Amino acid sequence: MILKNLPQRPLFMRPETIAIQSTRFTDTNAASVVAPLYLSTTFERNEEYELPHGFLYTRAHNPNRQQLESALATLEGGALALAFSSGQAATMTVFQCLQPGDHVIVPDDAYYGTPLLLQDLFSRWGLHFSRVDTSQAEAISQAIRPETKVVWLETPSNPLLKVADLEVVARLCRERGVLTVCDNTWATPILQRPLLLGCDVVMHSTTKYLGGHSDVLGGALVFREDGPLAQRARMVQTLGGAVPSPFDSWMISRGIKTLAVRVRQQSANAQQLAEFLAAHPAIERVHYPGLPSDPGYAVARRQMELPGGMLSVRVAGGAVEALRLAGRLRLFARATSLGGVESLIEHRASAEGPTSQSPPNLLRVSVGLEHAEDLIADLAQALEPA
């Protein structure tokens, strides 16, 4: 049996405690502290042809996925969570809940796969979308049409770390009858809880900080209310079958246990790196909402506990110097993705390809758990003139 959900808005527990308690497991067979893996794809009925534990078939539900979904709902303060095989599968499910002719607003700076889904898949299905600077509530207001059904938010955004005012945008959308969906992958529920600020749905690529070790793929949706939208999404999840395996669910649940301590340290490291880079003459600009000079600084201080472990830098001298800097680093892995314990650096325009809107001199940095002084020393040597 899986431990039942903790109170959805616990006033008496801090995130570190919630992360541990929400992933606890009650084992009536062997009293194990760690949850076992339920690899069975099917579950037996009793003599009365009933399902004694509620499980029928792993595509529909599985004990390991139930534990993960329960933990995610508790962490975000939501009524219901659904786990998926990837962040893109979770994103796609939101769009599959809409109708042809509906309109979606997405950020002008967002994970490139989100507008790509709308453009290459859903536009053929009759779903329309507009790209807007969602850090400006007035721009969102002007872009809303009678057929607008969803405003998709991503804050901090990828890769420019723009910050949307979640409370203001959620209130605006509620007044206009539009749903707000927030990609909370970069902030995590440790640093920011969009549902408690008025958003309707939170999306996560659980591949990133929630898994936390660059070794498991997953995604999730968390709903503020268990209403028609949540139930339609559950239907898409079950019929479409883009669900995580029991082992993937187990791995992400394990990652959640250390989420709070990892994210806090990564944020502290990122703050030090951002301050060092902002003062370096070879760096044109640092995008990081923990810097007072950043346009999103005031809003981030209000709605985030810490500014997070991600930053982007623009290197003076264009793409050539940016690639040179990345190539000279010794402690940073030159790789896509983020949120793992190791520090990663990526030339985003190269990763996204010819349709990329990322500045050619921009490097995206996922700050890991190495000592900040060692990371700064590595950056310093890589920034030395050739």
Asked whether the beta carbons of 375 and 342 are under 8 A apart, the reply is no
* CA–CA gap between residue 92 and residue 269 (Å, rounded): 33
The domain covering 260-382 belongs, at the CATH homologous superfamily level, to: Aspartate Aminotransferase, domain 1 (3.90.1150.10)
Residues in the chain: 386
pLDDT band at 3 (very low <50, low <70, confident <90, very high): very low
What pLDDT was estimated at residue 225? Answer: 97
Fold of 15-257: Aspartate Aminotransferase; domain 2 (3.40.640)
Tell me the pLDDT tens digit for each residue of 327-362: 999 999 999 999 999 999 999 999 988 888 899 999
Look up tokens 């290197």; give the residue.
315
| Paired tokens of 255 | 């990652």
**At 162, phi and psi to the nearest 5?**
-70, 150
Q: Which residues lie below 8 Å from residue 146, measured CB to CB, with a gap of 6+?
A: none
**At 326, phi and psi to the nearest 5?**
-60, -40
Sign of CA dihedral 198, 199, 205, 206: positive
Q: Is 57 helix (H, G, I), strand (E, B) or coil?
A: strand
* CA–CA gap between residue 352 and residue 116 (Å, rounded): 11
- pLDDT, mean of residues 149-159: 98
Pick the catalytic residue from 111, 112, 209, 288: 111
What pLDDT was estimated at residue 12? Answer: 61
Q: Is 287 helix (H, G, I), strand (E, B) or coil?
A: strand
Q: What is the DSSP string of 103-138?
A: EEEEESSS-THHHHHIIIIITTTT-EEEEE-TT-HH
Pick the catalytic residue from 59, 264, 324, 328: 59
Q: Is 285 an annotated catalytic residue?
A: no
Is residue 63 scored above 90 in pLDDT? Answer: yes
Tell me the pLDDT tens digit for each residue of 216-238: 999 999 999 999 999 999 999 99
What pLDDT was estimated at residue 27? Answer: 75
**At 179, phi and psi to the nearest 5?**
-80, 145
Q: What is the DSSP string of 145-204?
A: -TTEEEEEEESS-TTT-----HHHHHHHHHHTT-EEEEE-TTTHHHH--GGGGT-SEEEE
Q: Is 208 an annotated catalytic residue?
A: yes
Amino acid making up residue 203: M
Pick the catalytic residue from 102, 109, 183, 200: 183
Cα pseudo-dihedral 145, 151, 156, 160, rounded to 10: -40
Domain map of the chain by residue range?
A: 15-257, 260-382
Pick the catalytic residue from 149, 208, 234, 348: 208
- pLDDT, mean of residues 35-42: 92
How many alpha carbons fall within 13 Å on the CB side of residue 3?
18
Look up tokens 């793929």; give the residue.
217
Is residue 4 scored above 50 in pLDDT? Answer: no
Look up tokens 């809409």; give the residue.
98
Look up tokens 């989420």; give the residue.
259
What pLDDT was estimated at residue 238? Answer: 96
- pLDDT, mean of residues 300-304: 98
How many Cβ atoms are within 10 Å of 114's Cβ, its own excluded?
25
Q: Is 165 an annotated catalytic residue?
A: no
Query: What percent of the residues of the chain are helix, what percent strand, and what percent coil, each to the nearest 5?
Result: 40, 15, 45
Q: Is 142 helix (H, G, I), strand (E, B) or coil?
A: helix
Element (H, E) at 284: strand 283-287
Q: Which residues lie below 8 Å from residue 99, measured CB to CB, with a gap of 6+?
A: 149
Element (H, E) at 310: strand 310-315
- pLDDT, mean of residues 281-294: 98
What pLDDT was estimated at residue 356? Answer: 84
Asked whether the beta carbons of 13 and 74 are under 8 A apart, the reply is no
Look up tokens 């810097």; give the residue.
291
Element (H, E) at 103: strand 103-107
pLDDT band at 9 (very low <50, low <70, confident <90, very high): very low
* CA–CA gap between residue 22 and residue 74 (Å, rounded): 7
Q: Is 59 an annotated catalytic residue?
A: yes
Cα pseudo-dihedral 241, 245, 248, 249, rounded to 10: 80
**Which residues sit opposite 362 in a β-bridge?**
314
